[in-house]
A and B are shown apart, each in its own frame.
Chain A
Amino acid sequence: MFYSQKHMLQIEGLHPPEIGHLLDLAESYVLLNRSGKAQRDLLRGRTLINLFFEDSTRTRTSFELAGKRLGADVINMSVSTSSVNKGETLLDTAWTLNAMHCDLLVVRHAQSGAPALLAQKVDAAVINAGDGTHEHPTQALLDALTIRRRKGRVEGLAVAICGDVLHSRVARSNIHLLTTLGCDVRLVGPPTLMPAEAERLGVRVFHDMKPGLEGADIVMMLRLQKERMAGGLVPSAREYFRFWGLDAEKLAYAKPDALVMHPGPMNRGVEIDSEVADDPARSLIKEQVEMGVAVRMAVLDTLSRRQARNEP
């Protein structure tokens, strides 16, 4: 077995063979899903709980579909953030889940490290579906799978991650995964949206799209939350789009066959122009969604097999 951990909490610390195993397995699920074959029974009799402390239709649905395709009993629990803002309450939740004999727990939480805390207290295998500004590991895996299928490889590619890196867990997971696989990773965005000492994560930092995108194979755009403008980090949407919004003119700084990605949901006209987002020749955005289900199936598969082996 390549993947050695009980949980899937973060990309940081994974080794290239572990990532390769997950991508290979996900690849096989892509084919299976496309062939429309009947549900497998790998997870029959197992309980998967989607525990979402933050709203996310897209990621929750993707995990739900992945679980059902593998035959699991899937339960969605949405917990309003207001009632759960203390660590103590989070642990109360953990004990409840243990009593329910949950096998696989998918967690999204606004606080960095919340899934890790749950993982210490629950019997289930925990899958981080996004925690604060820390990580979103399955998003990075699905991005890598999308890239690999279109470019034939991930290793050695030049990838520009653009926009609000400071608040992005997607960016952090991608930085770890892509640098682990030997990519040339650049971060591009205004200095006010760049995390401190980002260079020490093994990337190069640019504030100007032109040098940042030069020679890039992949341009990965990040979502700009509206509250960043209210918080004064960016003066206005029009200024943001002028300097950091991806349009055809800025995409031309990258390689002629560079591909565009976005984790969604997009702010059209803020971080990305529709002309680019909807161009089937350049945009991988729809493909990313399809890969999401396959990658989550691969993660559930891997963790449940490990669980089965360890059971007495």
Chain B
Amino acid sequence: MSPDARSTPDTLFAGVRLLSEGVDLVGDLLVRDGRILDFGPNLGRPDEAIVVEEDGAVLCPGLVDLRANLGEPGFEYRETIASAAQAAAAGGVTTLVALPDTKPAIDDPALVYLLRSRGEATGSLTILPYGAVTRGCRGEELAELGLLREAGAVAFSDGARAIGSPRLMRLALSYARGFGARIVQHPEDPSLAEGGAATESDLATRQGLPGIPAAAEAILVARDIRLAELTGGAVHFAHVSTGDALELIRRAKESGLSVTCDTAPPYFDLNETAIGDFRTYAKLSPPLRKEADRLAVAAALADGTIDAIASDHQPRDADDKRLPFAQAAAGGVGLATLLGVTLAQVHNGSLSLPAAIALLTARPAALLGLETGRLAKGTPADLCLFHPERIWQVEAGKLPGKAQNTPFDGRALEGVVFGTWKAGRRVFG
């Protein structure tokens, strides 16, 4: 095929650090027809290729975000798929798993198709839906997991709602096993967490905020590990935030159970003191924990217990947050800051750069059996080019996308995304 016959010109990334599972070298990467054609130390430069050169930049697979709320359908005043796609592209995210606790909930095969096709329409973001575990994410009766799975649901979750009933969790794990699918749990005992606004501590006591004990997480994790053992099912714990829960998960993995987990940047970068003077942007679910728990999360990233870092993007608008702390909605945006906050763990020496990138790409992709998340010849060119040392400052109000409720407002971050490519097409930068 002659160059003119091609719909899009080639793109050559020249002299960048290529970083992916099993790949770490300084060289070139050539994209043709939306796919990675070749990469290596010294590739020739095809005529008419667009050449991208950035001194000291790292080229890695587009990030795979295991957990984000898109606001659509039903909460468009907070975020739309289009605005979330903007934020994702700015953050280097090219594949995103959308939470099902929307309005209506993603409990019907037609809604799975809808989200997937809305993702395709963005041109920059693959949206993979979680199917609801229960109808309406109400925690009462199982949704049609088989039909949802056939429609393309990658796993099942009730979103920010924990599956509280042990019988229901048992049924869900057991039933989903028949379809080879994971149940993604919001690991927080609902009755212990009810009414709570901050982690239970002396700080919450001083502020007069109703507390959620850290044990609310470990209790549900311990229970669900036993249910996974009983049913042979696969459980995934989202945004794990406490050392106790991580220790339980570590031991369950050692004994060979199908147990996985992720965490989100706030839980290894911030602690309960970020609430400061009742800052509702730092009100999250689960709540920010004590420093010892933050350190335990960072350690679990380093030792491999945690399988992925997810943005846990939860868009809220001003009216959701401009309320007394206990009444304000929990949740923070996270797409644009996902890479930068993760790299802070690299800069402070806690995590190697390849390990950090794996937690954002290959490992979450492997967990869901996706082919994306790696630099490999012939695969779609979903790419993120970033400078690991360059500095920027997070400023609520100036983030890409609609929702601005970041818990990292004012935080200086090292790690700037220069550009994001989806199937070879530049979608950011």
Contact = CB atoms under 8 A, between A and B. Distances in A.
A235 B178 contact: no
A246 to B, nearest CB: 16
Interface stretch (B136-144, B195-203, B319-327, B387-395): B136-144
Nearest to B168: A232
B171 A242 contact: no
Interface string B172-186: 001101100000000
Given A191-B231, A232-B141, A232-B168, A242 B146 contact: yes
B214 to A, nearest CB: 31
Contacts of B232: 191
A208 B149 CA distance: 14
A68 interface: no
A243 B145 CA distance: 11
A242 B148 CA distance: 12
Given A233-B171, A243-B146, A208 B178 contact: yes
Interface of B: 135, 140-147, 168, 171, 174-175, 177-178, 231-232
Contact of A235 (B145, B168, B177, B231): B145
Contacts of A190: 175, 178
A28 interface: no
Contacts, number: 39
Interface residues of A, number: 14
Nearest to A229: B141
Contacts of A239: 144-147
B146 A191 contact: no
26 contacts: A190-B175, A190-B178, A191-B175, A191-B177, A191-B178, A191-B231, A192-B171, A192-B174, A192-B175, A207-B178, A208-B178, A232-B140, A232-B141, A232-B171, A234-B142, A235-B135, A235-B141, A235-B142, A235-B143, A235-B146, A235-B175, A238-B147, A239-B145, A239-B147, A242-B146, A242-B147
A236 B135 CA distance: 11
B144 A238 contact: yes
A199 B163 CA distance: 29
For the complex of A and B, the 6 pairs showing the least CB-CB separation, nearest first, are A207-B178, A191-B174, A239-B144, A235-B144, A235-B142, A232-B141
Interface string A215-235: 000000000000000001111
A233 B172 CA distance: 9
Contacts of B175: 190-192, 235
Interface in A231-263: 232-236, 238-239, 242-243
Contacts of B174: 191-192
A217 B317 CA distance: 62
Nearest to A232: B141
A247 B27 CA distance: 57
A243 B178 CA distance: 10
Given A208-B178, A235-B142, 16 more contacts: A191-B174, A191-B178, A191-B232, A192-B171, A207-B178, A232-B141, A232-B142, A232-B168, A232-B171, A233-B171, A235-B135, A238-B144, A238-B147, A239-B144, A239-B145, A242-B146
A187 to B, nearest CB: 13
Contacts of B140: 232
A99 B125 CA distance: 80
B28 to A, nearest CB: 46
